């Protein structure tokens, strides 16, 4: 296996608060890597550092052999990193299809408008938004907007997909559908780095998991190793039984 994304020694301070500290990890080609940690652990900041929304104070990010540290978000997108936001940011006045077309046009492949239209239609179909392609994004339900975030990111045909809590706010049926979609994406050859609070989901989906606490890496390993790691259990999960509880109760 080769590394698709390498983060070396990432550090970011906001005022006096150390949001991310000396964090290093790698995402292997083709895997699903889960990023978990309590609220305020710095997970979303890590995403912001990777896709260039903010620049790190220290450290390097290497994607597919190229140093992308500090590049603007649109440059990072061109390299083949796409992101689905935790707080959905649909382009409300554009249709579902047009939203996806933006991703396709300006993502990794720099498609023409006509190509983008077809790619967007295929992706919209594949995540179950095909019937709503010509609806304004503002008219979608929450679950629909979550799917749109994902569809828009996928339309870029990225190498790496960053999923930021795409399951939050969905009901159990919608979660199951979304899990299938995420597996489908991985099977199509796209590498996934995901932040998730729904334990059952992340434990099921991930090949490996990185646990953050107070901006630092607390542990790294397979889901099984993580659930048995005493540090994780202590710092994050409280005690062992709460892991079971978290898995059993939907959000």
Partner 1 sequence: MTTSISHDVAKAGTFKPRKGWGEEIALQVRQPFPWLIAIFTLICALAPYVLDDVSLRESLLLAAVYVTLATNLNLMIGYAGYVNFGNIVFFGVGGYIGVYMATAWHVHIVLAALAGGICVSVLAYVFGRGILRLRGAFFALATIGVNEAIQAFVVNFEPWGGATGIYLSMDAYEPLGGPMNALWLCYYLIIAVMGLSLLLSYGIKKSKFGLAIMAIGQNEDAAAVLGVPTPKYKAIVYSISGFLPAVAGALYFFKSGIIEPTSAFDLTTSIEAIVMLMLGGAGTVTGPVIGAFLYEELRGYLLFSETFSHLQLVLAGVLLLLIVLFVPGGLMGFLRQRLPFVRRWLQ
Tell me how far apart the alpha carbons of residues 72 and 78 are, in angstroms, rounded to a whole number. 10
Nearer to partner 1, 53 or 235 (CB): 53
Q: Which of 55, 72, 240, 245 binds partner 1 (CB under 8 A)?
A: 72
Which element (helix H / strand E) includes 88?
none
- The site map against partner 1 for 142-181 (x = CB under 8 A) is ----------x-x-xx-------------------x--xx
CB of 67 to partner 1, least distance (A): 19
Nearer to partner 1, 131 or 245 (CB): 131
Q: Are strands 208-213 and 216-221 parallel, antiparallel or unpaired?
A: antiparallel
* 3-class DSSP state of 51: coil
Cα–Cα distance list, 16 to 12, 23, 41, 102, 169 (Å)? 10, 18, 15, 37, 32
Which element (helix H / strand E) includes 208?
strand 208-213
Q: Which of 14, 55, 66, 74 binds partner 1 (CB under 8 A)?
A: 74
Which listed range, 12-20, 31-39, 103-111, 222-230, lies at the site for partner 1 (CB under 8 A)?
A: 103-111
Q: Which of 125, 134, 225, 244 binds partner 1 (CB under 8 A)?
A: 125
Torsion of CA 106, 111, 115, 118, to 10 degrees: -40
Q: Could you say whether residue 89 binds partner 1 (CB under 8 A)?
A: yes
Two tokens at 178? Answer: 């979304």
CB of 187 to partner 1, least distance (A): 5
Q: Are strands 32-36 and 208-213 parallel, antiparallel or unpaired?
A: parallel
Q: How many beta carbons lie within 10 A of that of residue 132, not counting itself?
A: 19
CB of 111 to partner 1, least distance (A): 8
Across the beta sheet with 216-221, what order do the strands follow? 81-84, 160-164, 191-195, 32-36, 208-213, 216-221
Q: Are strands 32-36 and 17-28 parallel, antiparallel or unpaired?
A: unpaired
Q: Which of 15, 93, 173, 239 binds partner 1 (CB under 8 A)?
A: 93
Q: Which of 134, 139, 189, 225 binds partner 1 (CB under 8 A)?
A: 189
Q: Which of 115, 174, 207, 220 binds partner 1 (CB under 8 A)?
A: 115
Tell me how far apart the alpha carbons of residues 120 and 126 are, in angstroms, rounded to a whole number. 10
CB of 181 to partner 1, least distance (A): 5
Contacts with partner 1 by CB under 8 A lie at: 51, 53, 72-75, 77-78, 82-83, 85, 89-94, 98, 101-103, 105-107, 112-116, 118-119, 122-123, 125-128, 152, 154, 156-157, 177, 180-181, 183-185, 187-190
């Amino acid at each position: 296996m080769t590394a698709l994304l390498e983060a070396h020694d990432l550090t970011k301070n906001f005022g006096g608060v150390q949001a991310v500290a000396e964090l290093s990890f790698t995402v292997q080609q083709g895997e699903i890597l889960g990023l978990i940690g309590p609220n305020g652990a710095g997970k979303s900041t890590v995403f912001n550092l990777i896709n260039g929304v903010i620049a790190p104070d220290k450290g390097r990010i290497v994607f597919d052999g190229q140093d992308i540290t500090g590049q603007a978000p649109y440059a990072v997108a061109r390299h083949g990193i796409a992101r689905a936001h935790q707080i959905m940011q649909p382009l409300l006045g554009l249709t579902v299809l047009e939203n996806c077309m933006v991703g396709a046009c300006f993502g990794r492949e720099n498609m023409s408008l006509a190509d983008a239209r077809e790619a967007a239609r295929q992706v919209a179909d594949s995540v179950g938004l095909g019937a709503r392609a010509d609806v304004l994004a503002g008219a979608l339900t929450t679950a629909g907007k979550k799917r749109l975030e994902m569809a828009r990111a996928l339309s870029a045909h990225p190498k790496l997909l960053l999923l930021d809590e795409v399951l939050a706010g969905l009901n159990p049926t919608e979660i199951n559908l979304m899990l299938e979609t995420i597996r489908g994406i991985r099977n199509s050859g796209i590498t996934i780095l995901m932040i998730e609070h729904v334990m059952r989901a992340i434990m099921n989906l991930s090949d490996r998991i990185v646990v953050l606490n107070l901006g630092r890496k607390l542990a790294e390993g397979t889901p099984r190793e993580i659930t048995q790691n005493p540090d994780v259990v202590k710092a994050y999960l409280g005690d062992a039984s709460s892991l079971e509880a978290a898995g059993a109760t939907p959000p």
